[in-house]
């Protein structure tokens, strides 16, 4: 997973009936409330990432969808609905994860994110990457643990 720091570019708006799903491939997607509801599988964030989005800004997200986004490096940003509407109108933005700030149309709006989630995104760590950071401790545990009976782990 690539580290996430700053995402800047045009904003696609998903909440416009005149556009529907015929969206340009921009780095930032602006959406309505409870975005991702009904899409608890990993495929929804994967599809958005494959489409070219690197950040999604919405007033709220479905919990599982939000979590799945962060696990693949797609940054979900929660802003008040009025700010999301203003972002949609602006059409261009800069999302800075380190500063936890979205800049658009001459304004800066802060956002909150869990510190551990932010660290993982900033360092480009998925669940496996976090586990591999503990490889030395895992190896030490495996070498020291007592085994009774036959051991099949040495076959590799």
Could you report the per-residue pLDDT of 20-73, keeping only the tens digit for each? Answer: 566 667 899 999 999 999 876 888 999 999 989 999 999 999 999 999 999 999
Task: Give the mean pLDDT of 100-108.
Answer: 97
Question: For position 61, what pLDDT does the model report?
Answer: 96
CA 107 to chain centre: 23
Residue 2 to residue 41: CA distance in whole angstroms: 21
Alpha helix stretches (DSSP H) within 18-74: 43-51, 63-72
| CA triple 143-132-73, angle to 5 deg | 165
Residue 78 to residue 139: CA distance in whole angstroms: 39
Over the chain, what is the mean pLDDT? 89
């Amino acid at each position: 997973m690539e580290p996430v720091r700053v995402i800047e570019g045009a904003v696609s708006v998903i909440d416009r009936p005149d556009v529907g799903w015929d969206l340009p491939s921009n780095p930032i997607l602006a959406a309505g409330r409870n975005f991702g509801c009904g899409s608890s599988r990993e495929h929804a964030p994967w599809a958005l990432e494959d489409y070219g989005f690197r950040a999604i800004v919405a007033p709220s997200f479905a919990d599982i969808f939000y979590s799945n986004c962060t696990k693949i490096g797609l940054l979900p940003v929660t802003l008040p609905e009025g700010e999301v509407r203003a972002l949609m109108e602006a059409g261009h933005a800069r999302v800075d994860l380190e500063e936890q700030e979205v800049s658009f149309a001459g304004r800066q709006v802060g956002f909150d994110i869990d510190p551990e989630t932010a660290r993982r995104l900033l360092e480009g760590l998925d669940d496996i990457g976090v586990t591999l950071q503990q490889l030395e401790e895992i190896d030490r545990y495996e070498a020291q643990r007592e085994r009774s009976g036959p051991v099949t782990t040495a076959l590799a």
